[in-house]
């Protein structure tokens, strides 16, 4: 780098104005690359999702030959280690040292919350899958875009389906005892109760729980169980659920029966009905490209995380096409990002609301065994689902954020 | 009413698994005074190795035994090459074994990826067994049985064989044991391998319930620590009783006071540490 500058200065000085003009010309014809930072997790217990995020991102840019809207793309991957402090450090590096134009990631809500204020100050667009409700509700970050879902966004349609199509009246919920689990189950509860159903019991095993039996022993007297586990917990839970001889139908959110878990699940997952922003059997050209590419490169089918990052790539591309490839005006860039409207994506058509959260199709799927392999088959889709479901936005935001105890159980 | 019976039976089965895990930890700590923080990693490593062995055509039980043996061999290397040099330096041992556990976790992540891997329950033990009108997972009952068999076998080994007598002598007074001609350093290797084998074996046996995933090591290690602190290090009876106490605390605590699940689990450990630092069945050491 230093050598280059010296040579350029020498040339400029020696050959005069004409040469300088001709040197600056190719800079217009070949603009500098777009720099995209990816905050992911490659070590520790969150690594599984983090690695999938990186695979989805790389797949997208490979599909585009690392060129979007006429500009080359430089991808900078940073491992946050899955903790808030690491995320903060890596974000600062990406922003201040690498001068990235936007950031994909991070994975977990607590990582996102750790950098949200800093990123907003730096006017850095963040395209994350982290589902924390208030990021696009009561404490919105104007530079944030979420093309996946809030925690409860897929639970609202799931509850609607459980009450209206499955005609369930009584449900027991069980989910990891942290914000993502709380928000998911609260969302399910609100819609299910409003449709006339009743939540009999809400169970909260700690995030780290080797043995679910103490909770499984309390499951009885309901039509079905709704589980909101994430990471590798769905696997452990479903196995122990089956071992315990429980027969109640199981419903779940996006992480509960994700495509990425299919190769790890056994027959205990058969029959699980889940609602997700992404489904493997969606027939769009880009989903087919994503699946084929993932199988070819990594021998895996994509799940929520890889599809989510592939979609982020598409959002970035569409926004850059709107700005004519420009990224310098950050406010114009975030406006472009939030006005993106796409049809051919791995999750189908979607747009964004004025808070930067996705409005798109959500899919109710049933897990089945086909030819010795587990697959999710879509049985119903809910188009144009926003984060507020059918509720009035003003009313929704005037209520407290979904939590462990809100809304309170009707008894 | 049924809930309590189910919880009680499950407490016993979890206790069985914890005994397999912590017996080795207790022996190692009792004899060598090494707080072996890689013990959870041995557990996870055994389970991961077994998934590969099963994928290469081993059946579940031979995978459990061979997986355990591979972990034991690894444990032997760790003892010979590293821990041997750190005898008496407890802080160094803690740091080294902790560091090793992170390294093992990263290597596992590289080799077996971050995706959780499921170990199928051996076909003969699938399904549930009805006992007095209640259904219990057959495999869990089998774990309790395995734990009892191991408890008896370990007791026989320690109490009825020459090797056991030497180990007991080494636990009680290593200096005196050396004086009467016992090669305590060789005992160290034997015991460390045995402990590692037990942990690896327990990892495989626990596999059908827990499955294997990054972070499993750090979930199991605290449980082993609680068991050994409650029961007293170096005491087989202590490990056995401690395992079942923890099994009961874990199950009933989570069912009755879910918000305080960890308090219920760790509070007894604090109380024992304060009132009876050597553990319920441990011997007072100078």
The ipTM, to two decimals, is: 0.82
Burial class (CB in 10 A: 0-12, 13-18, 19+), A31: middle
Residue B284: per-residue pLDDT: 57
Distance from the B62 Cα atom to the nearest Cα atom in chain A, whole angstroms: 22
Distance from CA of B123 to the nearest CA of A (A): 13
The secondary structure of A310-368 as a DSSP string is HHHHHHHHHHHHHTTT--S-HHHHHHHHHT--BSSSTT--EEE-TTSBEEEEEEEEEEE
Interchain pair B114, A49: CB under 8 A = yes
**Sorting pLDDT into bands at 50, 70 and 90, what band is B1?**
low
**How far, in Å, CA of B120 to CA of A51, rounded?**
25
Tokens 């005037």, located at residue: A398
A38: left (phi over 0), alpha (psi -120 to 50) or beta: beta
Cβ <8 Å between A50 and B117: no
Q: Which of A214, A269, A300, A305 to mutate to test the interface with B (most CBs of B within 10 A)?
A: A214
CA distance A287 to B179: 73
Chain B contacts in chain A segment 175-194 (CB below 8 A): 177
Q: Chains A, B: CB contacts under 8 A, how many?
A: 112
* Partner B, chain A 302-361, Cβ-Cβ below 8 Å: none
Do you find a cis peptide bond into A407, omega within 30 degrees of 0?
yes
Chain B residue with minimum CA distance to A232: B116
- According to DSSP, residue A93 is labeled I
Please list every residue in chain A whose beta carbon sits closer than 8 Å to the beta carbon of residue B208. Answer: 239, 243
The C-alpha of B69 sits at a distance from chain A's nearest C-alpha, in angstroms, of: 24
B114:A47 CB<8 A: yes
Which of B255, B230, B201, B261 minimizes the C-alpha distance to A207?
B261
Contact A217 B7 (CB under 8 A): yes
Q: What is the pLDDT of residues A192-204, one digit of tens each?
A: 999 999 999 999 9
- Burial tier of B101 (Cβ tally within 10 Å: 0-12, 13-18, 19+): buried
Instruction: Test B213 with A48 for CB contact under 8 angstroms.
Output: yes
In the numeric block, the tokens 């972990």 are attached to B71
CB within 8 Å: A243 and B213: no
| Residues of chain B found within 8 Å of residue A232, distances taken between Cβ atoms | 115-116, 211, 213, 215
Output the furthest CA–CA distance in chain B (Å, rounded).
59
A204-224 tens-digit pLDDT: 998 888 889 899 989 999 999
Of A281, A274, A350, the closest CA to residue A312 belongs to A350
Chain B hits for A48, Cβ within 8 Å: 113-116, 213-214
Query: Across the interface, do B115 and A263 touch by the CB < 8 Å criterion?
Result: yes
Contacting residues for B87 by C-beta, under 8 A, at least 6 apart: B32
pLDDT surpassing 90 at residue B269: no
Bridge partner residues of A71 (DSSP): A68
CB B232, CB B283: distance < 8 Å:
yes
The mean per-residue pLDDT over the stretch A239-264 comes to: 93
Helix, strand, coil shares, percent, chain A, to 5: 40, 20, 40
Alpha-carbon span A410 to A199, nearest angstrom: 8
Lowest mean pLDDT among A162-176, B51-65, B207-221: B207-221
* CA dist B33 → A24, B26, B142, B188, B234 (Å): 71, 9, 32, 10, 9
Residue A111, C-beta contacts closer than 8 angstroms, at least 6 positions apart: A39, A80, A82, A83, A84, A87, A105, A130
Radius of gyration for chain B, computed over Cα atoms and rounded to the nearest angstrom: 19
CA–CA dist B190, B198 (Å, integer): 12
Indicate the SS3 state at residue A278: coil
Assess whether pLDDT exceeds 80 at residue A28.
no
Q: What is the pLDDT of residue B285?
A: 52
Contacts of B171 (CB under 8 A, 6+ apart): B30, B31, B234
The DSSP code for A64 is T
Task: Please determine, for residue A4, whether its predicted confidence score (pLDDT) is greater than 70.
Answer: no
Q: Do B220 and A210 touch (CB under 8 A)?
A: yes
- Select from B140, B154, B247 the least CA-distant residue to B195: B154
pLDDT 10s digits, B12-38: 999 999 999 999 999 898 888 888 999
Q: What is the DSSP string of B70-81?
A: HHHHHHHHHHHH
The shares of helix, strand and coil residues in chain B, as percent rounded to the nearest 5, are 80, 5, 20
Contacts of residue B135 in chain A, CB cutoff 8 Å? Answer: 245
* A375 phi/psi in degrees, rounded to 5: -140, 150
CB neighbour class for B120 (10 Å; exposed up to 12, middle 13-18, buried from 19): middle
pLDDT given for residue B126 in this prediction: 85
A235 vs B116: CB contact, 8 Å cut-off? yes
* Whole-number pLDDT of residue A232: 87
CB A133 within 8 A of CB A121: no
Could you give the residue ranges of the DSSP H alpha helices within B161-215? 162-172, 174-179, 184-210
pLDDT given at position A3: 44
Give the pLDDT of residue B263.
Answer: 87
- Whole-angstrom Cα distance, residue A369 to residue A379? 15
Nearest chain A residue to B136 by CA: give it.
A244
Nearest-by-CA chain A residue for B251: A214
Q: Give the DSSP letter of residue A96.
A: I
Instruction: Quickly count: other Cβ atoms within 10 Å of residue A329's Cβ.
Output: 12
Joined together, the tokens standing for residue A272 give 């699980």
pLDDT at residue A10 in the model: 43
Give the C-alpha separation, B58 to B65, whole Å: 10
Strand ranges for A60-108 from DSSP E: 67-68, 71-79, 102-104
Chain A residues within an 8 Å CB radius of B121: 243
- Closest CA of chain A from B222, distance in Å: 12
CB contact under 8 A, A210 and B118: no
**Hey, are the CB atoms on B3 and A217 less than 8 Å from each other?**
yes
- Cross-chain Cβ contact A214/B252 below 8 Å: yes
Chain A residues with CB inside 8 Å of B254's CB? 205, 209, 214-215
Average pLDDT value over all residues in chain A: 91
Looking at the predicted structure, is the pLDDT value of residue B100 above 50? yes
Residues in chain A with CB shorter than 8 Å from the CB of B139 are 243
Q: Which whole number is the average pLDDT over A12-34? A: 53
Residue A128 to residues A313, A357, B212, Cα–Cα distance (Å): 11, 10, 28
Distance CA A274, CA A249 (A): 11
Contact A214 B211 (CB under 8 A): no
Q: For residue B51, which residues of chain A lie inside 8 Å, CB to CB?
A: none
d(C-alpha B7, C-alpha A215), whole Å: 10
- Of the two residues A142 and A232, the one the predictor is more confident about is A142
| A16 and chain B in contact, CB less than 8 A | no
- Cβ separation of B255 and A218 shorter than 8 Å? yes
Tens-digit pLDDT profile for residues A348-404 = 999 999 999 999 999 999 999 999 899 999 999 999 999 999 999 999 999 999 999
Return the pLDDT at A198.
97
A356-373 in b/e form (b: 16+ CB < 10 A) is bbbbbbbbbbbbeeeeee
Minimal C-alpha gap between B216 and chain A (Å): 8
Question: Please, what is the end-to-end C-alpha distance for chain B in angstroms?
Answer: 47
Query: Residue B143 CB: number of other CB atoms within 10 A?
Result: 24
């Amino acid at each position: 780098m230093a050598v280059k500058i010296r040579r350029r200065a020498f040339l400029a000085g020696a050959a005069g104005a004409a040469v300088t003009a001709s040197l600056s010309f190719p800079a217009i014809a070949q603009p500098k690359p777009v720099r995209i930072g990816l905050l992911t997790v490659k070590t520790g217990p969150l690594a599984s999702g983090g690695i999938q995020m990186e695979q989805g991102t790389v797949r997208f840019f490979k599909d585009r030959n690392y060129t979007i809207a006429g500009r080359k793309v430089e991808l900078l991957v940073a491992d946050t280690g899955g903790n808030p402090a690491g995320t903060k450090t890596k974000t600062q590096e990406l922003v201040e040292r690498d001068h990235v134009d936007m950031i994909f990631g991070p994975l977990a809500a607590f990582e996102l919350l750790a950098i949200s204020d800093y990123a907003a100050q730096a006017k850095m667009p963040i395209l994350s899958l982290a589902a924390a409700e208030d990021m696009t509700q009561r404490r919105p970050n104007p530079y944030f875009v979420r093309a996946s879902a809030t925690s409860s966004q897929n639970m609202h349609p799931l509850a609607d389906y459980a009450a209206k199509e499955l005609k369930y009246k009584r449900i027991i919920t069980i989910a990891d005892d942290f914000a993502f689990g709380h928000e998911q189950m609260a969302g399910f509860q609100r819609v299910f109760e409003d449709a006339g159903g009743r939540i009999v019991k809400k169970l909260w095993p700690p995030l780290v729980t080797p043995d679910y039996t103490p909770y499984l022993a309390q499951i009885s007297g309901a039509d079905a169980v709704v589980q909101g586990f994430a990471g590798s917990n769905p696997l452990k839970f479903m196995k122990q659920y089956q071992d315990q001889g429980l027969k109640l139908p199981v419903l779940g959110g996006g992480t509960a029966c994700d495509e990425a878990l299919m190769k790890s699940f056994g027959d205990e997952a058969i029959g699980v009905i889940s609602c997700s922003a992404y489904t493997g059997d969606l027939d769009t050209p880009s989903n087919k490209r994503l699946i084929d590419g993932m199988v070819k490169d990594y021998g895996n089918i994509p799940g929520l995380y890889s599809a989510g990052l592939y979609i982020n790539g598409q959002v970035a591309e569409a926004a850059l096409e709107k700005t004519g490839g420009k990224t310098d005006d950050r406010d114009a860039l975030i406006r472009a990002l939030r006005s993106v409207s796409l049809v051919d994506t791995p999750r189908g058509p979607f747009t964004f609301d004025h808070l930067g959260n996705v409005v798109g199709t959500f899919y109710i799927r049933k897990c089945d065994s086909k030819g010795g392999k587990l697959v999710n088959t879509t049985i119903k889709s809910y188009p144009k689902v926003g984060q507020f479901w059918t509720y009035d936005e003003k009313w929704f935001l005037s209520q407290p954020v979904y939590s462990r105890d809100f809304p309170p159980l009707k008894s | 009413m049924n809930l309590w019976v189910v919880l009680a039976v499950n407490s016993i089965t979890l206790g069985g698994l914890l005994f397999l895990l912590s017996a080795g930890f207790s022996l190692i700590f009792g004899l060598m005074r090494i707080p072996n923080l890689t013990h959870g990693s041995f557990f996870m490593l055994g389970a991961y190795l077994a998934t590969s062995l099963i994928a290469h055509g081993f059946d579940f039980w031979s995978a459990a035994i061979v997986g355990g043996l591979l972990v034991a061999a690894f444990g032997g290397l760790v003892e010979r090459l590293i821990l041997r040099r750190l005898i008496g330096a407890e802080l160094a041992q803690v740091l080294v074994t902790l560091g090793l556990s992170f390294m093992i976790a990263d290597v596992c992540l590289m080799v077996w990826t971050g995706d959780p891997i499921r170990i199928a329950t051996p076909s003969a033990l699938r399904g549930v067994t009805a006992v007095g009108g209640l259904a219990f997972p057959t495999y869990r009952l089998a774990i309790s049985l395995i734990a009892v068999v191991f408890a008896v076998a370990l007791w026989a080994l320690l109490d009825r064989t020459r090797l056991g007598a030497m180990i007991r002598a080494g636990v009680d007074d290593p200096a005196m044991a050396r004086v009467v001609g016992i090669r305590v350093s060789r005992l160290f290797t034997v015991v460390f391998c045995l402990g590692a084998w037990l942990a690896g074996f327990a990892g495989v046996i626990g596999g059908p319930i827990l499955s294997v995933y990054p972070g499993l090591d750090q979930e199991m290690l605290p449980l082993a620590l609680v068991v050994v602190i409650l029961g007293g290090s170096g005491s087989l009876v202590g490990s056995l009783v401690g395992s079942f106490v923890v099994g009961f605390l874990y199950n009933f605590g989570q069912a009755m006071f879910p918000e305080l699940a960890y308090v219920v689990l760790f509070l007894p450990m604090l109380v024992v540490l304060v009132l009876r630092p050597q553990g319920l069945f441990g011997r007072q050491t100078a």
